[in-house]
Every structure is written in C-alpha cells, then in structure tokens.
Structure 1
Amino acid sequence: RIYQTRSDLGSGLVYPVPSLQAPAAPAQEPNKMYTYPMAGPFFVLPSHSALDSSSAAVSHTRSLTFLKSSLGGPFFDLEAIWDEHTRYEFETRAVEKTMATMVQEPYVNHVPTLTGGIGRVKLTDFYRNHFIFNNPDDTALELVSRTVGIDRVIDEFIFNFTHDKVIDWLLPGVPPTGKKVRVPFTGVVNIRGDKLYHEHIWWDQASVLIQLGLLPEYLTFPYAVDGKMPAPGKRFEYRVPATGADTALKLTNENAVESNLMFDYKVREVDDK
C-alpha cells in the first residue's frame, strides 16, 4: 500500500511490486503557518522561564480561530456578554452581578493610570471601592465602533461625564472640578467561553486634563534648541501637543476638526519668571 499525495499520481513514479495507491485528498482550505520571532520553543508555558505572554496570547487567539472554524464552534454571543457586563457596571451598578459575568480569576487594566485589579478578590475590591460607585450619575458611553473577534470585543467609544466627584480610577487624587468631559476611549475585552477574562482600557488622559483646565497650553522645555540654550533670564517653552474635547469630536465626525494644525506648534522663548 502506497500513501502519497494526489500530485504524485502524475509524477511518473514506477513501483517494482503490485501496489494499491491511496492518495491523500487535497486540503479544502489553504494551510497557515505563524511565526513568533521573539519567542522561544516554550513561550506558551506559564511556568516556564521562556514564557512570552504577548506571543502566547496572540497564539491562543489564532488557535481558537482555527479550531472553532474547523469544529463548528462552540460560538457565543460576545456582544451580548460584554453589553451585560457594562449594564451592571454603569446602569444597575451591582458589584456581584458585574463579577458574575467574569471568569474565576479575571483582571482589568486601565492603562493610563494603572488602575484595575488582578484576580477575583482584588478586582471585586476595585469595583466596589474605586469604580462602580465612583462614576458620576450622568456617566454615558457613546459607542463609535465595535469589532468582534473569535474571543474578544474591541470598542471605540466616547466616555461622557461631569467631574462632580473624585473618580479615582480615572483621575487619582484630583478633586472635583464640576467640568463636563467627553473623552475618546478604546476597550479591548477578552472573553473565555461565555465569561469575561480581561479588559485593557485606554483613553486620552491629556485630553481629560485639558478639559478640566489642569494642563497648561505651554510647558517648560529644559533642553537646548538647535544647539543653543535660552538667553540669561529666559526659558524655552513648547506648546503641548494635545487638545481637549476636539479629540472626541473628530473621532465621531472626521470633518468636524481640521487635521494637522499641530504641525504649526513651535518652541518659544519667554521671560523666566
């Protein structure tokens, strides 16, 4: 019995004995091969010194994509799972129900402020004491776009609120200013089965501070400019390359704010008071 590929049938191969040929059927879908240049052979093993968490996470998602498409599932309504979680966070404001939507040991990472929690105990404490009841009453999420993958939901949205209380996950240590804020957010939400595993949340912190009047238009530039330091009694200042509510406006309407205006920003020399 000769096992071969179908392409071998026309190759002219001659066998010296009678044979029963069993060519393999051609693959229905093209094969894919991924490489992870920065990773070693044991990069997916949690307890191994060669663990590469980022590559392992990407590999896990790619494996799920292959397996679920080949096995026909199981598939879950990831949008519904995520929407239920946010409903308990911002509408119902129920810690226990929020945690019930998550795996046994989840984590949340708010990237700009390093707030959140790892594991059920710490994350429950975070939700109870620093998040769910710390958000202003008029908090609203305005969805801009949503991408749904095999194991995650990625949202672009505008976070709207009035800064009428200390929001320590967003603005640690900053007293209320009474200002209204609209700020672009991105959320990457990983889901394992039908439960949330983790959330990676980003936002434009400079835009928040500008809208609250806490980030000045110019800041000191303490270095030489074109090889020269400022004259005696002077200092250099650079214009902060950030803006306020226009970031949210342009995200929702690309024509609302002109692009590239910051290209005109310059360093200036002022009295060193």
Structure 2
Amino acid sequence: MQAELAADLDATMETMVANPHLINLGSGSGGVGQEGVRKFYAEQLIGQFFPPDAEFVPISRTIDGKRLVDEVVIKFTHTQKIGHLLPSVEPTGRKVTMAVVVIVGLQDEKVSYEHIYWDQAGLLVQLGLLNPKGLPIDPTAPKRLLEATGH
C-alpha cells in the first residue's frame, strides 16, 4: 500500500506474483494478470487513490500464512476522481464514510490477489447519486460500525 500511496507503479507491481488479480467488487473495476493489474493501477488507482483528507480507521485485521483480511472504515470528502471506487464519476464535494473489507492473498511473500468489498449503493446515496427510497440499504451503517467499535 505504501507504493500505491507513493504513486510508484513499478514498486507496486514488484510486490505481486507473476499472475496476480485485483477485483473491486463494489465497482467491478480491477484487473487480471500482470498486464491487467498494471493497467488498472495506472489508469484507475495511481494518483486517484483517495483525496488528501482521507482517514483510514482500522477495525480488524486477520493474518495467516496465506491471506490478510483488513476491515477498515474510510472517511473522506469526494474532491477528486476516484477511478477504482467511482469510475467516470466527477467529484461531488460530499463527505463519505464507508466500510471496506480487503482480502489479500499471499504466495511466496508476495501479493497473489486482492478482493475488495464495500457497499456501492450506500456510497452512491452518500454522494447524492442514488435515491435510497424503496431500497433495502442504510448508508449510515459505516458510522454505526465506528460507534460500535469505539472509534
């Protein structure tokens, strides 16, 4: 993640196995294989990771020899394009609180895959891009998670 935040594409790719994959389940973005993952990072992540005011609040972490699972709440103001979360969506200026689960597969001390989950409907409601009326969603759930875990 440090290489991603530093916008260093080559260093990011060096942390991965020869045939990695990355899937953002909320938006459907990502890539498969070195070429697909590199293209995803170059076009939708590097330089668009999160706005400068982003705050990452760790909730839990589980690690075994084959995977790392992070549960985190991310708070930010949508002041820039964020291609991996919101492909083709212009900044709205709205504040967001979202819960994210990241599952990272490990092989020979390198990343073999990343599966990243979040509530896309709740995110779109917070940004004013989706009317929640009649939908079975609660965009305040991430804030309640923070409260429940003492954050």
Aligned to 1:123: 37
Is the aligned partner of 1:138 residue 2:53? yes
Cα RMSD for the two superposed structures = 1.7
Q: How many residues align?
A: 149
Distance in 2, matches of 1:138 and 1:128, equals 22
Q: Which runs of 4+ in 1 moved over 4 A?
A: none
Q: Relative contact order (C-alpha < 8 Å, sep 6+): which is higher? A: 2
**TM-score normalised by the chain length of structure 1:** 0.52
Which of residues 82, 95, 104 is equivalent to 2:9? 95
Aligned to 1:209: 124
C-alpha deviations, 1:146-171, integer Å up to 9, x for none? 01122000110012222112222211
Percent identical among aligned pairs is 34
AA partner of residue 75 (structure 2) = N
Instruction: Please state whether the residue corresponding to 2:148 is helix, strand or coil.
Output: coil
Distance in 1, matches of 2:77 and 2:66, equals 33
C-alpha deviations, 1:117-174, integer Å up to 9, x for none? 1111121121111112112233332211001122000110012222112222211222
**TM-score normalised by the chain length of structure 2:** 0.90
| Gap runs ≥5 in structure 2 | none
Which of residues 119, 139, 153 is equivalent to 2:68? 153
* Cα distance change, pair 255–108 in 1 and its aligned pair in 2 (3 A): closer
Structure showing greater Rg: 1
Aligned to 1:179: 94
Distance in 1, matches of 2:119 and 2:83, equals 16
Distance in 2, matches of 1:132 and 1:182, equals 21
Distance in 2, matches of 1:198 and 1:217, equals 33
Higher-strand-fraction structure: 2
Pairwise mapping of residues 1-40 of structure 1 onto structure 2 (< 5 A)?
none
AA partner of residue 113 (structure 1) = S
Whether the 8 Å CA contact 1:210–1:243 is kept in 2: the answer is: no
Aligned to 2:18: 104
